[in-house]
Amino acid sequence: MRELHKLLSAFPTSGGQSFDDMVQEAMETEEVQAIRKQHPEIETVHIVRSLSRVRQAVEEAASCQRCPGFAACPNLLRGHQAMLDWTGRSLEVRHTPCKLYTVEQEQQERSRLIRTHHIPREILGASFADLEGDLQRVDAIEAIVSFCMSVQPGKEGTKGLYFYGPFGVGKSYMMAAAARKLAERGLASLMVYTPDFFREIKDALQDNTVAEKIQVLKEVPVLILDDIGAETLSPWARDEILGAILQYRVSENLPVLYTSNYTLDQLEEHLAYSQKAGVEQLKAMRIMERIRYYTDAYRVDGRNRRLSRIEKKN
């Protein structure tokens, strides 16, 4: 007890709050109460000796409860939370990564493997809060918000979304906003611009990384294929690449989100034709079975927002 009084008197007051008050406040926090429940041998003197570490753990726990997102994380180590740890003699801090940090690391690894992983520069800050809920898009907006809040990749019966409609009406913006919302939930996603991805796969034949790249698209919890149908696929790309990716994801109940200028029927016609093989309707139908029956389709319409942004810049 004499040692405790000596310690208390050695610390200055802070902001009008006495050190005794600071200690009492720390003793009443959930973090201290939880670790003392696990280790009843922890005494007040141990809290006093480790007060700065205790306060760090308490403050970072509060930051995590009102998490502003990975990029704006205010904690000492971004994407980590300071946790109290009892060594048997003193309270120390260990830093534990949060789910957002894990998602960020996974995204960086995918970006290393897939160059066409992207969210277009003009919609990097996409957010559901900024969506205009006009009548031509309200059903699609409600669907994608509901998807992001409830999806459980791997759960039987999981379905994706297929957004189709004219250029510039916000299909890609909504998908970028979805990627952001999923990250907030700790769910990794991968958004690829489909025409560039197939060009990248063709180039990957030279360095033998095709299988590695395909595996990334197979296994990511939520895959976003942006602007499918904007490319002309070879039979090999359609059947061995797209077909293999979709078949795996269907079997594992992993959802795919699509944007396209084509309706589902128009996309089937597009996939049936190739310059080398002519029309292969049956093979296109096989691909479409993995799209049509595992997504809910929504038409997205309205004014050309992309054109409006260009006109504002000019």
| pLDDT confidence tier of residue 265, bands split at 50, 70 and 90 | very high
295 beta partners: 160
pLDDT digits (tens, 9 = 90+) for 288-299: 999 999 999 999
pLDDT score at 112: 60
Rounded to whole angstroms, the Cα distance separating 7 from 128 reads 52
Sequence-separated (6 or more) residues with CB below 8 Å from residue 264: 162, 164, 288, 291, 292, 297
In the block, residue with structure tokens 């799209």: 291
State both tokens at 283.
């093979």
Higher pLDDT, 166 or 278: 166
Mean pLDDT lowest for which of 71-85, 143-157, 245-259, 266-280? Answer: 266-280
Mean pLDDT lowest for which of 126-130, 165-169, 264-268? Answer: 126-130
pLDDT score at 275: 67
Q: Are 82 and 54 in contact (CB under 8 A)?
A: no
Residue 1 clears pLDDT 70, i.e. is over it: no
Q: How many CB atoms lie within 10 A of CB 173?
A: 22
In the block, residue with structure tokens 């902001």: 15
Q: Tell me the percentage of the chain whose pLDDT exceeds 90.
A: 34
Average per-residue pLDDT for the chain: 84
Backbone conformation region of residue 45, classed left if phi is above 0, alpha if psi is from -120 to 50, else beta: alpha
State both tokens at 210.
């095709």
State both tokens at 227.
């602007």
Mean pLDDT of 55-77: 86
| pLDDT confidence tier of residue 178, bands split at 50, 70 and 90 | very high
pLDDT score at 6: 46
Rounded to whole angstroms, the Cα distance separating 27 from 56 reads 14
| pLDDT confidence tier of residue 115, bands split at 50, 70 and 90 | low
State both tokens at 143.
């669907």
pLDDT score at 58: 86
| pLDDT confidence tier of residue 17, bands split at 50, 70 and 90 | low
Q: Where are the alpha helices (DSSP H) in 50-163?
A: 51-65, 99-113, 138-150
Higher pLDDT, 244 or 15: 244
| pLDDT confidence tier of residue 242, bands split at 50, 70 and 90 | very high
Residue 160 clears pLDDT 70, i.e. is over it: yes
Residue 149 clears pLDDT 90, i.e. is over it: yes
| pLDDT confidence tier of residue 239, bands split at 50, 70 and 90 | very high
pLDDT score at 10: 44
Residue 227 clears pLDDT 70, i.e. is over it: yes
Rounded to whole angstroms, the Cα distance separating 243 from 91 reads 55
Rounded to whole angstroms, the Cα distance separating 264 from 258 reads 11
Q: How many CB atoms lie within 10 A of CB 100?
A: 20
State both tokens at 191.
């958004």
pLDDT score at 307: 53
